Amino acid sequence: MTAPTRSWVLRGVRVLDGPPSDLCFADGVVSAEAGAGASVLDADGLIALPGLVDLHTHLREPGREDAETVASGTQAAALGGYTAVHAMANTDPVADTAGVVEQVWHLGQLAGHCDVHPVGAVTVGLAGKQLAELGAMADSVARVRVFSDDGHCVDDAVLMRRALEYVRAFDGVIAQHAQEPRLTEGAQMNEGPVSARLGLTGWPAAAEEAVIARDCLLAAHLGSRLHVCHVSTAGSVEILRWAKARGVRVTAEVTPHHLLLTDSLACTYDPVFKVNPPLRTSADVEALRGGLADGTLDAVATDHAPHALEDKETEWAAAAFGMLGLQTALSVVVSTMVSTGRLDWAGVADRMSRRPARIGRVRGQGSSLAVGSPANVVLVDPAARWTVDPAALASRSRNTPFAGMELPAAVVATFLRGRPTVLDGKLA
Amino acid sequence: MRHLLSAADLSRDDALLVLDTAEELARVADRPIKKLPTLRGRTVVNLFYEDSTRTRLSFEVAAKRLSADVITFSAKGSSVSKGESLKDTALTLEAMGADGVVVRHSASGAPHRLAGWISGAIVNAGDGTHEHPTQALLDAFTMRRRLGRLEGLRVAIVGDILHSRVARSNVLLLATLGADVTVVAPPTLLPVGVDAWPCSTSYDLDAVLPKSDVVMMLRVQRERMAAAYFPSAREYSRRYGLDGPRMASLPEDAIVMHPGPMNRGMEIAAEVADSVRSTIVEQVANGVSVRMAVLYLLLGGDA
């Protein structure tokens, strides 16, 4: 069992963009004052945000424990400032039954670094043919509310319609991986001047946008809730803006890597830059930043995708898609959104904690840090700068596209219901 | 220059040095004993993951004429068929002390990856749908021999530009050398983003031919029909094939090239392939001289 929860005082901390004050926790919740014998943390110059919530994490367990485990992935999450992550369903076996989601949920509880909310598969085996037992997963101990065939698009329009309708019974949401399969057969990278030069099969932006447009129309027709995973193109942002203006119940996420990196990195042919959806152009990056700033894009989600060395140390076409993200997400968001003046700290808290928690219907996360709310908190040093060293990351894998990059802002401490999971930038 | 991965690696001076060196080495082929001692004691590995009799033999002859020890490694029947990764194969070659590795691979960028794992020189002998720089060099060599210049030469490259490594390398190299290139294809067989290439594009072969000093026909795979790139082989041939009447619309001295292997009757008519304008057989012979020059310049320096 975990040690008895102590009480804490974060001395002189700035809560979001507020003035320096003391933030106290007792018995796992934010309290008006610290009890006797509280531990004191000098937080002068530091910023407190609600613990980050990731809507899109691949923890690889069960099945690929060589690439990541629930334990190693949630360590990376805690070090990145997360207090909750959504574990994607594309494990082996697939998380398409109550049994698998409960196993992942228990592994998360056991590890204790952050809450793990399993995402359930929409279709059996991610095969896109038959609905998985969504209700059983929703009613399980894991309380699944987010369903996704991530990595595969639910491209069958009828199946997508049924899924959108069905999950309304338990206030669930379908998180769509928008990728028209025929338009992306063998696709390797964004289709444009760089793919033309490199001779890599192109991945047209329209293959993403067409599915998002269709799903927005379906969600509008049904009054259902739709979430769009890892939006990567300017056109997708425009479609989402249009749909939201019409009152469609759609939310969307963007990854840190799509906020910073472009397809020009493929010219090294180093598959560390190979990801699904692919890195796009600088115009897309600009549109994604704009969309996140104005709230068209609701959330930053990492799509943390660990891969074993042998799945990345190959020729480009043979390599797996995906990048690490949990330990670099906050810094990348600071670099692309805060340093550029597009989001303040309240905005960061909104896009990385409050809104993702609401989308996932996660209880006790994404709170305001008001007295009485659960003490899920990340302490950030906004003045810090650090250089990404793949070997120093907690993940079992090394496939970060940010290796060697100097990034702003560092996580100093993370508290999960008042208990430190990270202190002094290290696992507590 | 440490490797030859892309035609874009070559400056104008580099490219001209390769062509001039090839010109000198071509004279060796006319001697009774066709061998030079230049690369004696150096090891060249031909690493071929794709069948390519023409290119593999050409590199093999080139390296042997320079007295290098040549090891040819075909993917079939090797450890590759047992699932060995490109990296492990690279480490094996590195441990054996390969001075140069000539690589043909079905994946674009495979030579770039090898260059990161092997200390020897890497020569790209064709990677996926990316590039084939020695083919472009031998094509430029052939043009210069036939027509006496490259600067200002009007070159039409016709066919499956989208999937052609020959087209990519030729466009880059010929632009470096001052030629005026037009790629001609149905819109489906031009890549999205081709407008960033240093060349013009056209969908109309008949409009381009009278203004071309060189027309280079590319192999078009009949399988492309299945993916709806064009409706039928017959329609492709009618619109983009080079037959006798079309050849007649070329300027008097214009030449017809093809990197091989040809689909006679598809992109090129037999009477064109066998005509006096055709350089197809010369291209093969010139390939050896150009590859000798590349190996000599990459490996000969610090021997």
Question: DSSP string of A192-253?
Answer: SHHHHHHT--EE-HHHHHHHHHHHHHHHHHHT--EEE-S---HHHHHHHHHHHHTT--EEEE
Asked if the Cβ–Cβ distance from B86 to A199 is below 8 Å, we say: no
Asked if the Cβ–Cβ distance from A191 to B130 is below 8 Å, we say: no
Chain B residues with CB under 8 Å of A182 CB are: none
Q: Which residue is associated with the tokens 């580099």? A: B14
User: Residues of chain B whose C-beta is under 8 A from some C-beta in A?
Assistant: 85-87, 105, 107-110, 112-113, 116, 127-131, 165, 168, 191-197
Choose the catalytic residue: B105, B132, B144, B163: B132
Q: Which residue is associated with the tokens 């030469």? A: B153
CB A207 within 8 A of CB A183: yes
Query: What pLDDT shows up at residue B303?
Result: 41
**Interface mutation target, options B49, B103, B104, B113, chain A, most CBs of A under 10 Å:** B113
**Closest Cβ–Cβ partner in A202, A315, A316 for B192:** A202
Asked if the Cβ–Cβ distance from B194 to A196 is below 8 Å, we say: yes
Choose the catalytic residue: B3, B42, B65, B104: B104
**Closest Cβ–Cβ partner in A199, A310, A317 for B168:** A199
Asked if the Cβ–Cβ distance from B108 to A316 is below 8 Å, we say: yes
For chain A, what percentages of helix, strand and coil (3-state, to nearest 5) are there? 35, 25, 45
User: Residues of chain A whose C-beta is under 8 A from some C-beta in B?
Assistant: 188, 191-202, 204, 268-270, 310, 313-318
Dihedral pair phi/psi, residue A405, rounded to 5°: -80, 140
Give the SS3 label for residue B199: coil
Dihedral pair phi/psi, residue A360, rounded to 5°: -85, 0
A194 CA to chain B: closest CA distance, Å? 7
CB B199 within 8 A of CB B176: no
Does the reported pTM lie above 0.90? yes
Q: What is the DSSP string of A326-342?
A: TTTHHHHHIIIIITTTS
Asked if the Cβ–Cβ distance from A200 to B109 is below 8 Å, we say: yes
pLDDT tens-digit readout, B260-298? 999 999 999 999 999 999 999 999 999 999 999 999 999
CB A11 within 8 A of CB A44: yes
How far apart are the two ends of chain A, measured CA to CA in Å? 16
B154/B182 Cα distance (integer angstroms):
8
A337 CA to chain B: closest CA distance, Å? 30
Choose the catalytic residue: A303, A311, A350, A381: A303
Nearest to B181 by CA among B191, B167, B193, B192: B167
What ipTM describes this predicted complex? 0.94
**Closest Cβ–Cβ partner in A188, A268, A315 for B110:** A315
Chain A residues with CB under 8 Å of B110 CB are: 269, 315
B81/B84 Cα distance (integer angstroms):
7
Asked if the Cβ–Cβ distance from A199 to B112 is below 8 Å, we say: no
Pairs across A and B, CB distance < 8 A: 73
Query: What pLDDT shows up at residue B52?
Result: 86
**Interface mutation target, options B49, B50, B108, B170, chain A, most CBs of A under 10 Å:** B108
Asked if the Cβ–Cβ distance from B191 to A195 is below 8 Å, we say: yes
Query: What pLDDT shows up at residue B79?
Result: 59
Asked if the Cβ–Cβ distance from A193 to B193 is below 8 Å, we say: yes
B201/A284 Cα distance (integer angstroms):
27
Asked if the Cβ–Cβ distance from A199 to B110 is below 8 Å, we say: no
Asked if the Cβ–Cβ distance from B128 to A269 is below 8 Å, we say: no
CB A356 within 8 A of CB A54: yes
Chain B residues with CB under 8 Å of A192 CB are: 192-193
Per-residue pLDDT of chain A (428 residues; tens, 9 = 90+): 344 558 999 999 999 999 999 999 999 999 998 878 899 999 999 999 999 999 999 999 999 999 999 999 999 999 999 999 999 999 999 999 999 999 999 999 999 999 999 999 999 999 999 999 999 999 999 999 999 999 999 999 999 999 999 999 999 999 999 999 999 999 999 999 999 999 999 999 999 999 999 999 999 999 999 999 999 999 999 999 999 999 999 999 999 999 999 999 999 999 999 999 999 999 999 999 999 999 999 999 999 999 999 999 999 999 999 999 999 999 999 999 999 999 999 999 999 999 999 999 999 999 999 999 999 999 999 999 999 999 999 999 999 999 999 999 999 999 999 999 999 999 99
Burial of residue B57 (CB within 10 Å: 0-12, 13-18, 19+) is: middle
Average pLDDT over residues B163-180: 98
B88 CA to chain A: closest CA distance, Å? 10
CB A410 within 8 A of CB A380: yes
| Three-state secondary structure string covering A180-203 | CCHHHCCCCEECCHHHHHHCCCEE
**Closest Cβ–Cβ partner in A198, A204, A313 for B87:** A313
Query: What pLDDT shows up at residue A138?
Result: 98
Is 70 exceeded by the pLDDT of residue B182? yes
Torsion sign across C-alpha atoms B237, B238, B240, B242:
positive
Strand partners, B70: B44
Query: What pLDDT shows up at residue A2?
Result: 46
A296/A245 Cα distance (integer angstroms):
10
**Biggest alpha carbon distance in chain A?**
67
In which element (H, E) is residue B154 found?
strand B154-158
**Closest Cβ–Cβ partner in A199, A204, A268 for B108:** A199
Query: What pLDDT shows up at residue A362?
Result: 97
Query: What pLDDT shows up at residue B300?
Result: 86
- The residue in chain B having the minimum alpha-carbon distance to the alpha carbon of residue A312 is B87
Percent of chain B with pLDDT over 70: 97
Asked if the Cβ–Cβ distance from B193 to A197 is below 8 Å, we say: yes
Q: Which residue has the higher pLDDT, B51 or A351?
A: A351
Task: Specify whether B40 is catalytic.
Answer: no
Chain B residues with CB under 8 Å of A317 CB are: 107-108, 128
Total residue count of chain A as it appears in this document: 428
Is 90 exceeded by the pLDDT of residue B224? no
B286 CA to chain A: closest CA distance, Å? 26
Is 80 exceeded by the pLDDT of residue B83? no
Strand partners, B127: B105, B131
Chain B residues with CB under 8 Å of A264 CB are: none
- H runs (alpha helix) in B160-220: 165-176, 205-208
A374 CA to chain B: closest CA distance, Å? 49
E strands present in A68-219 = 82-87, 115-118, 146-147, 173-176, 189-190, 202-203
Chain A residues with CB under 8 Å of B113 CB are: 269-270, 314-316
B157/A345 Cα distance (integer angstroms):
56
Query: What pLDDT shows up at residue B151?
Result: 98
Asked if the Cβ–Cβ distance from B108 to A269 is below 8 Å, we say: yes
Residue type, B278: S
A331/A339 Cα distance (integer angstroms):
10
A281/A283 Cα distance (integer angstroms):
5
Is 80 exceeded by the pLDDT of residue B82? no
B58/B64 Cα distance (integer angstroms):
10
A186 CA to chain B: closest CA distance, Å? 12
Asked if the Cβ–Cβ distance from B191 to A196 is below 8 Å, we say: yes
